[in-house]
Amino acid sequence: MNTQELTALLDRLRAEPHESEWLEFKANRFEPQALGDYLSALANSACILGKPRAYLVFGIEDGSHAVVGTRFDPGAETVKGKEGKNNQLLPLWLSLGLHPNTGFEIHPFSYQGQQVVLFEIHPAFDQPVRFYGKAYIRDGSSKTELARYPEKQRQIWQRRVDWSAQVCEQATLSDLDPAAITKARTEYKTKFPSKRDQVTDWDDGTFLNKTKLTIHGAVTNAALLLLGLPESSSLLSPAVARITWLLKNERNEDQDYEHFEPPFILNVDKVLARIRNLTVRELPSGTLFPMEMSQYDPWVIREALHNCIAHQDYGLCGRIQVVETPHRLILTNLGGFLPGRVETVIEQDAPLEIYRNRFLAEAMVNLNMIDTQGGGIKRMFQAQRKRFFPLPDYDLSQPERVVLNLQGRILDERYTRLLMSRTDLDLSTIMLLDRVQKGQAISASDNKRLKAANLVEGRFPNLVVSAAIAAVTGQKAKHIRDNGFNRQYYQDLIMKLIREHQPVTRDDIDKLLLDKLPEVLSEKQKLSKIHNLLYDLSHQQMLIKNEGSRRFSQWVLLNN
C-alpha cells in the first residue's frame, strides 16, 4: 500500500469506537515478546471473526485515538535469538517465532505530521497461530492464552482443510491391499456385530464407502494410509506415510531399525513385533511385587501407535517414530497436541471436539482401531497404574511435535509401593504422584493437597513420595504374600542354586524357599510343596537328579 492508501486505512481504524479483537493501538512502548504475542492473538481473533486482516498500530493513543507518534523503528531493532544465538533483526525474529506464519506486513509512514507504524496481520487459516510455542487470543481488548478458550480454538480448527478426506486423484481401488481390506472387514464386523451378515454381502466398493474410506468410490488419502499397498504411498507425496522403529542401546547408539509403510492396519502389528518387550524381574525392597511382568502392556503400545497415526500432521511431511531403548519406548508424531493439556483429556473424559484428521479418525473408529469416546488416553493411564509402573509421560514442549514416553521399569520404589497399597487413590492424584517421582514440577496447591494426605514429603518444590507408605505396604501387601509366587518362580530359584553351588542338600533348598512360600501354609505344607517342586524338576522335566541318598541328598544338574 502507498502512503495515501495507508492514511485512508488508518482514518478508518481510528474511526472505530474502541479497540476490539482485531484492532490494537499502542502509543510508543515496545517489547519484543509482547509484540509477538499480539501478532498471534490478532491473527487468531481475525480468523474467528472472519476479518481479512487484523491491525496493530504504534503511535496512536488507546482510548482517545489521538495521534501521538512513535520512535519505534522495527527495521532497526534487534533481538537476541533463542538459545543465546546472535542478535536477529526484529522482523526476522518475529517471523521465525510465528507458526504457522500466515503473514504480516510492517508499514512505517508519516500520518498527520507524526511517525506511525502499522502492522497488517493476516488471519489464521486452518490452525491457531502460535508465537514460540504458545497461541494467544483477544478477549475484548485484552490478550490471553488461547488454551483458556477451547471453543474459540475449535472454531479455528474447523476452518482447516482435512487432508485425510481429500481424494487422491491418481489412486484407484487396485492401489489397495486385498489382505488389508480383508482385515478391515474383520475389524468392522467386530465393531458392529449386528452388521456381520450385511458386510459379507457387500462388494469391496460398497464396503469402503460404508466404512468412510472412499467417497462415492474415490480413494481418499485416509484409505491409502490404512489399506494402501506399500508402493501406493508415493501417491501421497509430498506427505510421508511411514513409521520408523529404531533400537538404541544404553549409550544411545543406534543398533537396528526398520521402516514400515502402508497398509497401516496390518503393519502396526509388524511394528509391535519388532519391540522386544522384555520380561521385568524387579523387586522393590520390602515388598512383594510381581516377579515376572512384560515391560509394556501390548494394548497400551497399540493404542499409542494408533493415536500417532490418527493425529499425525501429514502436511509437515515427516514420519512417525518409535524409538526403543533398554528401559523405555518413545513414540513421536508431528503436529501439536490439540486438547492443549493431557490433564484436560483425563478430566473431561469426553470425545475430542477438535480433530486434525477427522475423516481418518472416523474411519479408524469404524475399523476398531481407536475410540472416539475420548477414553483411549485415560485407559492407557489406568493400565499403567494397574501394573504399578510409571504413567505415560507426554512431552508437549515442542509446538509441532507430540512425544510420548512409556517407561519399562520401576523409577521410584516408594511410588510403586504406594500404588500397591492405596487402591483408593483417584487417577488425578496418581498423576500428581507420578510427576513427583519423575522430578517434574507441581503447583503449590497440588503440593498442599498431597502433603495433607501424607503422600509426599520434603520441602516444596523438592518433593519425594512419602517413605511412610512402606510401613503401610507391609500390612496391605499381606494378601500378595499369602498367595505366593507362581510355580516357575520357585523352580527357577532351585535351578539357579544348583547351577551355581552344586551339589546342594535338601537343607540348602529349604533355607532358600521356606520364607518365600505363602505365609498361610504351615511348615509341613511348605516342606511338602518343596518336595513336589523337586519331584517335578527331576522326574517330569528331567533337569536335576539326586546323587546322594534320600536322607542325605546331593542335588546336581542332570547333564553335569
- Give the pLDDT confidence of 218-235 residue by residue, as tens digits: 999 999 999 999 999 999
Q: Please state the rounded mean pLDDT for residues 120-147.
A: 89
Which position has the grid cell 493431557?
Answer: 342
Q: Which of 53, 64, 68 is nearest to 21 (CA)?
A: 53
Q: Contact 384/391 with Cβ under 8 angstroms?
A: yes
Q: Contact 211/229 with Cβ under 8 angstroms?
A: no
The strand pairing partners of 89, in sequence order, are: 78
Alpha-carbon Rg for the chain, nearest whole angstrom, is 31
Determine the pLDDT at residue 352. Answer: 58
Neighbours of 198 (CB within 10 A): 13
Determine the pLDDT at residue 19. Answer: 85
Residues 472-488 pLDDT 10s: 444 444 444 544 567 88
User: In this prediction, what percent of the chain has a pLDDT beyond 70?
Assistant: 90
Which position has the grid cell 503401610?
Answer: 472
Cell numbers representing residue 33 in the block = 515478546
Beta strands 134-139; 130-131: pairing state: antiparallel
Residue 550 buriedness (CB in 10 A; 0-12 / 13-18 / 19+): exposed
Residues counted in the chain? 560
Domains and CATH numbers, the chain: 3-158 (3.30.950), 161-387 (3.30.565.60), 413-479 (no CATH), 485-557 (1.10.10)
- Stated pTM of the model: 0.63
Q: Which of 348, 349, 360 is nearest to 309 (CA)?
A: 360
Q: Please state the rounded mean pLDDT for residues 233-239.
A: 92
User: In this prediction, what percent of the chain has a pLDDT beyond 90?
Assistant: 52
Q: Which of 299, 300, 283 is nearest to 291 (CA)?
A: 283
Which position has the grid cell 454381502?
Answer: 201
Q: Please state the rounded mean pLDDT for residues 316-336.
A: 93
Q: Please state the rounded mean pLDDT for residues 69-93.
A: 83
CA geometry: angle 358, 177, 167, nearest 5 deg? 40
The span from the CA of 469 to the CA of 213, in Å, is 52
| Whether pLDDT at 187 is above 80 | yes
The span from the CA of 85 to the CA of 63, in Å, is 39
Determine the pLDDT at residue 466. Answer: 83
Q: Contact 118/9 with Cβ under 8 angstroms?
A: yes
Determine the pLDDT at residue 39. Answer: 96
Cell numbers representing residue 483 in the block = 498367595
The span from the CA of 408 to the CA of 390, in Å, is 8
